[in-house]
Amino acid sequence: MLRLTGPFIAAMLLLPFGCFAASPYVDQTSRTIKALSDQEVAEYLSGKGMGLAKAAELNGYPGPAHVLDLAEPLQLSPAQRKETEAIFARMQARAIDVGKRLVDQERKLDELFASKTISPLLLRQAMDAIGSLQGDVREIHLKAHVEQVDVLNADQVARYWQLRGYASDGAVHHHSH
């Protein structure tokens, strides 16, 4: 028969608390903007792609930054290089501008929570602004891929696909220009 002794009861009372793990967010409490890492802030502020254009990249639409990195093996003509540089410059300038506004909106949202002044209306307004800016940043990067594919010929697109490691035979998903 089980005896309920003092130590047994104490152990049973402590058991549920020992089953809980610390939050995976513990090391994020000191972030300036809680929802964004320092790396994410830096990437938004510098116009980095952050994987936002995977829908294009992984379906055969090369990105201008990578095309410039691969200019020699792709055998870009001077005109192609110039147009790719222009696409990249436009993309980066727009992404930096929108990225700054996005980081600012995330900071404002964080401040609303930190100051305990958030309300359903302020939350909705903040989320509308943030969601719109997130969509804008992604569209900027995707649009650059759409513009870039028209600069390259089919052989260069296939070579890009191969050089990026997506296929060993150069096969690429087909798309219309």
Identify the CATH number of the domain in which residue 137 sits: 1.20.120
Nearest by Cα to 49 from 149, 140, 132, 148:
140
User: What average pLDDT does the segment 114-140 reach?
Assistant: 98
Whether residue 12 is contained in a domain is answered as no
Whether residue 93 is contained in a domain is answered as yes
125 or 30: whose pLDDT is higher? 125
Name the percent of the chain in helix, strand, coil, to the closest 5: 65, 0, 35
Percentage, residues of the chain above pLDDT 90: 76
Whether residue 175 is contained in a domain is answered as no
pLDDT at 87 over 90: yes
Which of 21-35, 79-93, 158-172 is modeled with the greatest confidence?
A: 79-93
Give the total number of structural domains in the chain.
1
Whether residue 177 is contained in a domain is answered as no
pLDDT at 134 over 60: yes
pLDDT at 170 over 50: no
pLDDT at 31: 84
Complete DSSP assignment for 28-56? GTT-SSTTS-HHHHHHHHHT--TTTTHHH
Whether residue 127 is contained in a domain is answered as yes
> Backbone phi, then psi, for 106, in 5-degree steps?
-65, -40
pLDDT tens, 20-79? Answer: 678 888 888 878 899 999 999 999 999 999 999 999 999 999 999 999 999 999 999 999
| 161 close to 170: Cβ distance less than 8 angstroms | yes
Whether residue 155 is contained in a domain is answered as yes
Domain assignment of residue 138, given as a range: 34-163
pLDDT at 171: 57
Whether residue 123 is contained in a domain is answered as yes
Q: Model confidence at 18, in pLDDT bands (50, 70, 90)? A: low
Whether residue 40 is contained in a domain is answered as yes
pTM of the predicted model, to two decimals? 0.81
Q: Give buried/exposed letters for 111-144 (b at 16+ CB in 10 A, else e).
A: ebeeeeeeeeeeeeebeebbeebbebbbbbbbbb
| 62 close to 146: Cβ distance less than 8 angstroms | no
Q: Which two tokens stand for residue 128?
A: 């509308």
pLDDT at 5: 65
Q: Which two tokens stand for residue 52?
A: 């936002």
User: What average pLDDT does the segment 115-120 reach?
Assistant: 98
| 58 close to 164: Cβ distance less than 8 angstroms | no
